[in-house]
Amino acid sequence: MFCVPKAALLHGKSVGFALQKSRFRNAKAQLSVFNRIIFTKLNRKSLIVSVEERLKIPARFLLELISYTEHRLFLITFFEIILNV
């Protein structure tokens, strides 16, 4: 009858993260070159330039995306996979 809203919210958040992890894991598994990818800490500027050149996405959009998101590491890893770094 009574519900603790904070607990329900946190449960929903953890389910969302679990789904995101699952989708990300599936995407990595589908990449044929995944075994050759070495994840390194890249300079943010060089990463932006690489993504901008390869995907034709404006750098200002990428900078806004990375600076405003809470999942910076996820985005940087995602870009590394796309670029086959």
Q: What number of CA atoms fall less than 13 Å from residue 69's CA on the CB side? A: 12
d(CA 71, CA 85): 19
Residue 69 contacts by C-beta under 8 Å, 6 or more apart in sequence?
Answer: 75
| Domain definitions of the chain by residue range | 1-30, 33-85
16 close to 70: Cβ distance less than 8 angstroms? no
The pTM (predicted TM-score) of the whole model is 0.22
d(CA 71, CA 78): 11
Position 20 pLDDT exceeds 50 = yes
Mean pLDDT computed over every residue of the chain = 57
